[in-house]
């Protein structure tokens, strides 16, 4: 029996550390909790403001950046200080995480480069915050591989840091500095520089790293693999393709001398006269652009080519695929005729097909390099792609375009087994159409308006697709690519869908939620707090969500092609300003949220990568701290008198008011429901009192039920003999911590319910109950299935359920708490009648339909 109690204690988080720590008076604890929340909210507001100001709609200067970051940093420090007081320094690592992130941000603000000291990174370890070090090409491909699951050949990046080392080791940094000072980029100087590079030696570090990388490639792909070695200059993304500016070496054997030679050639190509004048045009002086390199295992291509995801001339919504036999260099360099397939992006049908005579093809030559050969006469006029392959390529291309929110120029290859690989993806430069978009939305005539100007704009843009309504979190798994996500509440769990979602619309939610910052990060057009989108929009219906630059938001019935197309035409713009991109880069360490799910092992200070992560961690752990302390705090009882709550039902609740929770004139030992002013307690009791909820008739227990409940009779969690047999509610005007034991099971609820959505949370724990284990499990299932309907995130452990929901509005909190009150009452004794699994579903349906009397 003791063992069982011990187990339950540990399930409740009653672990060793807390016994050793001094207990704080609960009202002090609660005050600190609110201080943490206030500082947290100030921080989130500054993050939101910075995101908006650095979003391209404002002219800002370094003064703005440093002053707003210093405000942010101050609020983070305050938050951390209150948090440490609240948790009694339980998370010392958090300060280190803050220091680490602060260091990265300060480097960006003051333009100190090279935050990384790694020379080589394989793509699977290449994170988005390394994109400056690995260059645009590497970063985009690694992102597609890691986030979107696109098939990319095995590859590693040689970083810009390695480039710095290489140049410094060979005395070239000074040479370039003096050329820059003289403003001398004459061709003979450049030629001398290129020669120096080719004659230079690799720094020992880099040599070791390269040789390790080659060994790794051999172990993954075999000795016969070869590499494509290409430039990935620091800023070789955005609108600047640098197309054809730098060297690409194909079919480099996997051995040190060949890689070294190829590496130097690629680096040297940074200093050709053409590349230099191109760089000048973009505002770089010589030496300002650093060169990372991409080393990718060469695909032995049966066919390869290029895809444009829109028509570059006018942005029309069609995909153009060009394709040749063999390696793709033939397409890029225009060496032979190529097949053209034009696919309608909306319907997916092939609109146009031209099969050219492909006289020659380029293939890898034994021992390195490439060779141009004549195509077999029988193959010259055959299509180099099947209809199936065209379709498949289109799907991949469209998903990449959607991911980057920009038309794409994509290189691909299909190997001899028919496997498709993506070799490069970069923004497609469109021909300027000179026509400026004005406020009115042309092209939408004839489309019924489903929702107009309700809700709050989180992220502007246009997205179209089929409505997919998510009512329970597990439905996330079925979300189809390209759909419009519609849900009751916003949730940071949606981050998993953001690479695929065309738009997001929710009934509730706020523009400062965690999800909102993720939407902005992924640039998914997002509208929240629309009231009733889940009611107005039908599952499977095709819609177009359009939010223009004046924040006019309209959801049209059907796909409005003109809007979708012109949304893609609008790209570019401020992204072309290098200084702007450089400064905006600091947002990477501020606003993205990586700590999504507090129930995973990754929810640690060490995994915090941004200021937002830090604040999220603090928020989550503060709530946890409060929950545990409220439950176990003896000091509450010593300091505050508990009064009995008189109700029509025998709930036996003692109330301890720590501030503004009761409206009490006299000092009598009891209060009525009408005297409760605590919002959450009122809502819960209202639910419990709902007609039909309280089953008072005893349900017969069978013998084994009776025995198992005997085993669990002992007081497992409370040490206060004075209140044994009572249920305890610790309340303030906005707070409730409620411990309820009904019959043989135990509910614990902790919530904070304010007008500020971001402060709000509900934690709900349910454990135990009489009856045998299978019936207990059924009740747990029943409760879980109902809680999921209300949007809770659930975790099980035996017959313990932990459910949590946060960041929902005041009204939504009241509704949810009312339902929780009903659920607590409804399930009090139900497990005794849950004889089979079908009963779980039946009772769950009844409850959700408001039928409580079955």
Partner 1 sequence: MSASRIMIIDDEKIVGDMAKMSLEQDGYEVEAFLNAEPALERLKQERFEVIVTDLKMKGIDGMEVLRTVKRLYPETKVIMITAFANLDAAIEALRGDVHDFFPKPVKIKELKTSIERALNKKE
List residues near partner 1 by CB under 8 A: 53, 57-64, 283, 436, 549, 573-574, 576-580, 583
CA distance 193 to 187: 10
CA distance 16 to 3: 16
Minimum CB separation from partner 1 for residue 442, in Å?
19
CA distance 353 to 319: 12
- Tell me whether residue 273 or residue 574 sits nearer to partner 1 (CB atom): 574
- Tell me whether residue 62 or residue 376 sits nearer to partner 1 (CB atom): 62
| Three-state secondary structure of 209-253 | HHHHHHHHHHHHHCCCCEEEEEEEECCCCCCCCCCCCCCEEEEEE
Minimum CB separation from partner 1 for residue 574, in Å?
6
CA distance 752 to 631: 15
Q: Quick check: 245 and 255 in contact, CB under 8 A?
A: no
Minimum CB separation from partner 1 for residue 427, in Å?
16
Q: Which helix (H) or strand (E) holds 826?
A: helix 810-826
CA distance 608 to 97: 7
Minimum CB separation from partner 1 for residue 586, in Å?
12
Query: Catalytic residue at 514?
Result: yes
Sorted by sequence, the CB contacts under 8 Å of residue 99 that are 6+ apart come out as none
Minimum CB separation from partner 1 for residue 54, in Å?
9
- Tell me whether residue 64 or residue 122 sits nearer to partner 1 (CB atom): 64
Q: Is the C-alpha dihedral spanning 490, 493, 495, 501 positive or negative?
A: negative
- Tell me whether residue 61 or residue 648 sits nearer to partner 1 (CB atom): 61
* CB-CB neighbours of 149 under 10 Å: 10
| Three-state secondary structure of 776-792 | HHHHHHHHHHHHHHCCC
Q: Quick check: 315 and 292 in contact, CB under 8 A?
A: no
- Tell me whether residue 67 or residue 704 sits nearer to partner 1 (CB atom): 67
Q: Is the C-alpha dihedral spanning 427, 433, 435, 440 positive or negative?
A: negative
Minimum CB separation from partner 1 for residue 52, in Å?
9
- Tell me whether residue 63 or residue 219 sits nearer to partner 1 (CB atom): 63
Minimum CB separation from partner 1 for residue 792, in Å?
40
DSSP secondary structure letter of residue 662: B
First to last CA, the chain: 35
Minimum CB separation from partner 1 for residue 584, in Å?
10
CA distance 84 to 81: 5
- Tell me whether residue 198 or residue 574 sits nearer to partner 1 (CB atom): 574
* CB-CB neighbours of 595 under 10 Å: 23
- Tell me whether residue 334 or residue 439 sits nearer to partner 1 (CB atom): 439
3-class DSSP state for residue 743? coil
Q: Quick check: 360 and 329 in contact, CB under 8 A?
A: no
Tell me the two tokens of residue 177.
């500095």
Minimum CB separation from partner 1 for residue 497, in Å?
32
- Tokens 């099971």, residue? 745
CA distance 305 to 289: 29
Options 40, 161, 447, 514, the catalytic residue: 514
- Tokens 């938050």, residue? 79
CA distance 388 to 321: 13
Minimum CB separation from partner 1 for residue 286, in Å?
17
- Tell me whether residue 211 or residue 241 sits nearer to partner 1 (CB atom): 241
Beta strands in 309-417 (DSSP E): 318-325, 339-344, 350-354, 360-364, 370-374, 408-415
Minimum CB separation from partner 1 for residue 799, in Å?
55
| Three-state secondary structure of 257-314 | HHHHHHHHHHHHHHHCHHHHHHHHHCCCCCCCCCEEEEEEECCCEEEEEEEECCCCCC
Tell me the two tokens of residue 607.
């995994």
- Tell me whether residue 3 or residue 111 sits nearer to partner 1 (CB atom): 111
Strands 670-672 and 642-646: parallel
Q: How crowded is the C-beta side of 726, counted as CA atoms within 13 Å? A: 18
- Which neighbouring-strand residues pair with 468? 485
Burial class, 182, CB count within 10 angstroms (exposed 0-12 / middle 13-18 / buried 19+):
exposed
Q: Quick check: 133 and 292 in contact, CB under 8 A?
A: yes
Minimum CB separation from partner 1 for residue 53, in Å?
5
DSSP secondary structure letter of residue 676: B
**In 3D, which of 429, 415, 411, 416 has the Cα closest to residue 230?**
411
- Tell me whether residue 63 or residue 667 sits nearer to partner 1 (CB atom): 63
- Tell me whether residue 417 or residue 435 sits nearer to partner 1 (CB atom): 435
- Tell me whether residue 12 or residue 568 sits nearer to partner 1 (CB atom): 568
**In 3D, which of 697, 722, 763 has the Cα closest to residue 637?**
722
Minimum CB separation from partner 1 for residue 283, in Å?
7
* CB-CB neighbours of 717 under 10 Å: 16
**Which residues participate in catalysis according to the annotation?**
514
């Amino acid at each position: 029996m003791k063992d069982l109690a011990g187990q339950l204690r540990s399930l409740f988080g009653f672990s060793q550390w807390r016994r050793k720590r001094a207990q704080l008076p609960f009202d002090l604890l609660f005050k600190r909790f609110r201080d943490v929340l206030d500082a947290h909210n100030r921080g989130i507001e500054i993050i939101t403001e910075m995101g908006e100001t650095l979003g391209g709609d404002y002219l800002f200067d370094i003064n703005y950046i440093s002053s707003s970051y210093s405000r942010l940093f101050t609020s983070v420090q305050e938050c951390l200080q209150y948090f440490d007081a609240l948790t009694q320094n339980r998370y010392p690592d958090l300060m280190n995480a803050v220091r680490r992130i602060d260091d990265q941000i300060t480097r960006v603000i003051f333009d100190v480069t090279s935050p990384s000291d790694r020379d080589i990174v394989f793509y699977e370890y290449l994170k988005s915050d390394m994109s400056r070090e690995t260059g645009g090409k590497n970063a985009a491909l690694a992102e597609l591989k890691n986030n979107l699951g696109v098939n990319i050949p095995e590859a590693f990046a040689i970083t810009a840091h390695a480039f710095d080392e290489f140049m410094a080791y060979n005395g070239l940094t000074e040479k370039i500095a003096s050329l820059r000072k003289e403003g001398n980029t004459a061709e003979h100087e450049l030629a001398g520089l290129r020669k120096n590079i080719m004659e230079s030696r690799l720094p020992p570090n880099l040599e070791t790293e390269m040789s390790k990388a080659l060994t790794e490639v051999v172990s993954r792909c075999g000795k016969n693999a070869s590499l494509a070695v290409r430039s990935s200059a620091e800023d070789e993304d955005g609108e600047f393709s640098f197309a054809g500016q730098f060297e690409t070496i194909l079919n480099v054997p996997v051995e040190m001398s060949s890689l070294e030679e190829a590496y130097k050639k690629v680096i040297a190509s940074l200093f050709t006269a053409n590349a230099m004048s191109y760089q000048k045009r973009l505002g770089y002086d010589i030496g300002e652009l650093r060169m990372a390199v991409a080393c990718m295992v060469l695909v032995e291509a049966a066919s390869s080519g290029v895809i444009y995801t829109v028509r570059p001339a006018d942005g029309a919504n069609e995909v153009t695929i060009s394709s040749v036999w063999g390696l793709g260099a033939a397409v890029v360099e225009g060496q032979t005729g190529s097949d053209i397939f034009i696919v309608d992006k909306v319907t997916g049908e092939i609109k146009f097909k031209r099969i050219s005579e492909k006289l020659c093809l380029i293939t890898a030559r034994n021992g390195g390099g490439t060779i141009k050969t004549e195509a077999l006469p029988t193959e010259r006029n055959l299509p180099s792609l099947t209809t199936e392959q065209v379709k498949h390529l289109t799907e991949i291309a469209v998903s990449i375009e959607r991911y980057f929110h920009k038309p794409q120029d994509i290189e691909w290859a299909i190997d001899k087994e028919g496997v498709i690989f993506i070799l490069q993806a970069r923004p497609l430069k469109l021909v300027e159409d000179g026509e400026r978009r004005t406020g009115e939305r042309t092209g939408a005539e004839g489309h019924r308006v489903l929702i107009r100007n309700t809700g709050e704009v989180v992220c502007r843009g246009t997205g179209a697709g089929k409505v997919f309504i998510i009512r329970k979190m597990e439905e996330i798994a079925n979300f189809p690519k390209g759909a419009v996500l519609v849900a009751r509440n916003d949730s940071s769990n949606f981050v998993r869908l953001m690479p695929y979602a065309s738009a997001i619309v929710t009934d509730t939610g706020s523009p400062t939620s965690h999800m909102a910052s993720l939407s902005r990060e992924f640039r998914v057009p997002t509208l929240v707090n629309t009231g009733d989108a889940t009611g107005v929009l039908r599952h499977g219906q095709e819609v177009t969500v359009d939010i223009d630059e004046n924040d006019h938001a309209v959801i049209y019935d059907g796909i409005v092609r003109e809007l979708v197309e012109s949304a893609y035409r609008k790209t570019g713009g401020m992204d072309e300003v290098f200084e702007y991109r450089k400064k905006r880069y600091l947002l990477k360490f501020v606003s993205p949220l990586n700590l999504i799910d507090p129930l995973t092992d990754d929810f640690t200070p060490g995994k915090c990568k941004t200021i937002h992560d830090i604040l999220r961690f603090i928020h989550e752990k503060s709530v946890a701290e409060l929950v545990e302390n409220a439950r176990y705090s003896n000091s509450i009882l010593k300091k505050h008198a508990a009064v009995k709550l008189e109700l029509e039902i025998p709930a036996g609740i003692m109330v301890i008011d720590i501030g503004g929770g009761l409206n009490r004139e006299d000092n009598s030992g009891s209060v009525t429901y009408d005297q409760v002013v605590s919002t959450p307690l009122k809502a819960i009791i209202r639910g419990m009192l709902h007609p039909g909820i309280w089953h008072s008739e005893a349900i017969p227990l069978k013998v084994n039920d009776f025995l198992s409940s005997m085993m669990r009779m002992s007081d497992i969690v409370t040490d206060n003999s004075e209140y044994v047999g009572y249920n305890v509610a610790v309340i303030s005007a906005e707070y409730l911590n409620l411990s309820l034991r009904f019959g043989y099971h135990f509910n614990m609820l902790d919530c904070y319910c304010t007008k500020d959505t971001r402060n709000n949370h509900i934690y709900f724990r349910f454990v135990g109950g009489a009856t045998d284990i299978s019936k207990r499990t059924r009740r747990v299932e029943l409760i879980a299935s109902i809680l999921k309907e209300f949007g809770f995130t659930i975790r099980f452990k035996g017959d313990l359920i932990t459910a949590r929901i946060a960041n929902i509005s005041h009204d939504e909190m009241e509704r949810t708490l009312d339902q929780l009150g009903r659920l607590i009452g409804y399930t009090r004794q139900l497990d005794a009648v849950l004889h089979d699994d079908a009963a779980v579903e039946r009772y769950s349906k009844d409850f959700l339909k408001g039928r409580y009397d079955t």
